[in-house]
Structure 1
């Protein structure tokens, strides 16, 4: 393996995948590249030369915490790094965060649209503070979502304010800081010590704009991600390589930064 790490992927238990993938395809008007199973993801990783994938789950209801956690425990391995999910309306939110930490998971995934919350909701301050203390990584959906109305819930301004309020929070803003809000990303987020991963940016931004953002951001805060199964891992790697970035930066993005971040999680 080349040591590449994909920091943002999705899969489901096999029976759920058969239902979830067609439903999500219809909602978003997009075709999945994989069948949504862990086996399908591992096969994709083999084709792309990816060593590890972070598998992000999304709890659309508070009561999904336990089954997602149990499934995450079942599937984790040297190659699959599961991030369970917390729902913002969970009455046991802080207790469940502690459980995630105690079970050895390095991070969680939250999605402002599927979970219907705003990133800067003051009710989440205790969660962010405890995540900062535990060293738990928080992967958020950043920017708009193709399946939902264009209401700003986790936009670059909110991301900037949250990271400034909680400077020790290990927050990863997906989709290069905010899907289809890249003008604000360039103005507000580039240059800040905020992790950004690349999924669904290479597919939509021209090479000049994406190079500008990447070269203007602290190199240690850039991560490779694909949002698989919604993009193809091998193709996304090839698109990144075509940018002609300096080799040390490319190596940081595709593996070095993620390896360091994952290694520091939980501490």
Structure 2
């Protein structure tokens, strides 16, 4: 069994316009059309048991609508996360509503949402999310569609790990896309999960294996970043690492299943 902890979808109406724009901005191809139905087709083709759809409110006004849609699509093999925009004023009630909707976590994208991950103005939001038992996922490191400065770097994430003990943090892209040396310096061995989304084809095999070994395979969850990567190819990248059976099964399914309480 396989859980893809990092995917993205749009409404059918929005996908046809959003995917080409995002692909052009980041200069990357899309491997699916960005709809929930396309994700389900991919899951069936590549034997993915569950996919976590990570939603992002890029404007404060989108927050409630996105969370409603997340609750709407969460069924069967789809597990959807909500989102809070940093400038959304009613964040405390919305976090409680997210919990009430049955969503298991929230996603922040510090580039799309234009905030530094360690900005102390965000701390009350994080604290409430963790109090509610929500998983908090961050886009970490470079986003190919954005110029510097990078808003979520390993040293900034390290501040959160030290300030929010006991909360479930997940840093996407193996702790920070194109910041993997800093991941090894600041985050490896700390109480934070990494997902493997998008980055496996950019890292050396040696660094991938070293981070998994040093950080501990029980703190790594598989993610593809579909539609920006092919789910089947990303599964094969994990298998190509030739990990011990227990480690491979943990990364592909067991760790995420435990986080999601499946």
What is the TM-score normalised by the length of structure 1?
0.96
* Secondary structure in 2 matching 1:42: helix
Deviation of the 1:219 alpha carbon: 2.2
Stretches (4+) displaced over 6 A: none
Q: Secondary structure at the match of 2:49?
A: strand
Aligned equivalent of 1:213, options 211, 216, 233: 211
Q: What is residue 252 of structure 2 aligned with on the other side?
A: 254
- For residues 1-267 of structure 1, what are the structure 2 equivalents within 5 Å? 3-263=1-261
Deviations 1:43-72 (A, max 9, x none): 111111100000011111011112112211
Residue 23 of structure 1 aligns to a residue whose secondary structure is helix
C-alpha RMSD of the superposition: 1.0
Q: Distance in 2 between matches of 1:168 and 1:124?
A: 17
The Cα shift of 1:218 comes to 2.2
* Post-superposition offset of 1:78: 2.1
How many Å separate the matches in 2 of 1:231 and 1:105? 24
CA distance in structure 1 between the aligned counterparts of 2:9 and 2:80, rounded to whole angstroms: 10
Q: Does the 8 Å contact 2:6/2:225 carry over to 1?
A: yes
**1-structure distance, mates of 2:55, 2:11:** 11
Q: Is the 8 A contact 1:192 1:218 kept in 2?
A: no
Measured after TM superposition, the shift of residue 181 of structure 1 is 0.3
Q: What is the count of residue pairs matched by the alignment?
A: 262
Unaligned runs of 5+ in 2: none
Question: 2-side partners of 1:20 and 1:156: how far apart?
Answer: 29
Deviations 1:152-174 (A, max 9, x none): 31100111110110012211100
Contiguous gaps of at least 5 residues in structure 1: none
Q: Distance in 2 between matches of 1:70 and 1:126?
A: 23
TM-score by length of 2: 0.98
